[in-house]
Structure 1
């Protein structure tokens, strides 16, 4: 289970828990090694999962595993084959016990370095984290969804929320206070949290954890109203995506890459990008 502090591994048979600190994940402790090790060192491709979500590596690739019934899509099968070739995910790994994992989790984290020999400190981009500004609240988002699925034109709904015509990247948009929306391919994409504007050349960003948290809370609100998501995707670098089916409509929530977005359109269209 992932938390702000790190990853908690629980042995259901005994209730024993080990917290792997965030600073160790992906470096001193690799999730693939932990999963395979606790399964007796078996290759990852031989392990059957009741469900998995959020596994990734430094290259932002998912750790794809076989589903319980083996009904992987052609796309997933292709990625599995790629991972086997590139990362040797089919190799056996050392087995480990919960006590072994506890000792591994107690390893001091390596001190972070802001620069390397090949990349001097002055060449790195400096980012300043600023407080996240929410453009549309969760009740407002739910209201937009409800109005659109009952037949109201999206442009009218957003105009009533203060949206004004504008442009971005030479494309027409509606811009409100802290949010913007753009039509594309039969759907509307609403950035309910937008990228912070640069201040006199200073590179500004939001805390990715705050973006993921807000996207998660929007998804939870949609789930409470419309039922479980049709599709989901989460990575360990803060990206979260949920697709909901509401009749013939689809609603996708995404958090990460500097913004939180809500897409509304036909379910068939949005499902193509799930």
Structure 2
């Protein structure tokens, strides 16, 4: 029996869609499982069936993924395609994302040019640190610029503590906490409030995760509050986060009986 006959006109199988869009059946099955791209129909035999509208939705997902968005971010950014206005909204969203990506690439280009000029002009250069920056640029790590602010000891710690995947996961979770802090600040939630205390505990847990309990690293991290980098929205955001969290952390330390910064000279937790 010809399986094509069981597929209604205007529909395509998961294999056909995967072939047309240069992806795999396994990927489409995963998108279905995660609620990113649900098949429009199903054949009598239980096969997933997709339409051309689904194809456009898949293109939206692929475009956002190629721009570096996580699947979680993509799920929040997906726009329904029910009207021409919806399609225009999708195109506008992708256009804006591309503009932002171009800006990141321009920043990366500027950083590389700056490193090149410094290597030419100086007799001694920190090739190890430059190599770290280049590797992070190639990974599309938008936080590559942080590397130049770390000393060798901290960089060695980061290299041993994190790989590409765990490092990016850490930054994503750290940024999620920062977003929560900003919301509390904007809502004028007091430092002693249970919400603020819960975030202080969560924030401190991430500090301990980053340092692996090495309290001697705290002084290095505190110095980041004094950094100045023109037009660096992330850095300015972190200064706002730290300013709001400081009294909440102090209260958290008091309640927990901790003296974090008095313990900097102690040995790292094993």
- Shared fold (TM-score greater than 0.5)? no
- TM category, shorter: under 0.3
Higher helix share goes to which structure?
2
Q: Normalising by structure 2, what TM-score?
A: 0.23
Specify which structure has the higher proportion of strand: 1
Larger radius of gyration: 2
TM-score normalised to the size of structure 1?
Answer: 0.22
State the structure with bigger RCO (CA 8 A, min sep 6), 1 or 2.
Answer: 1
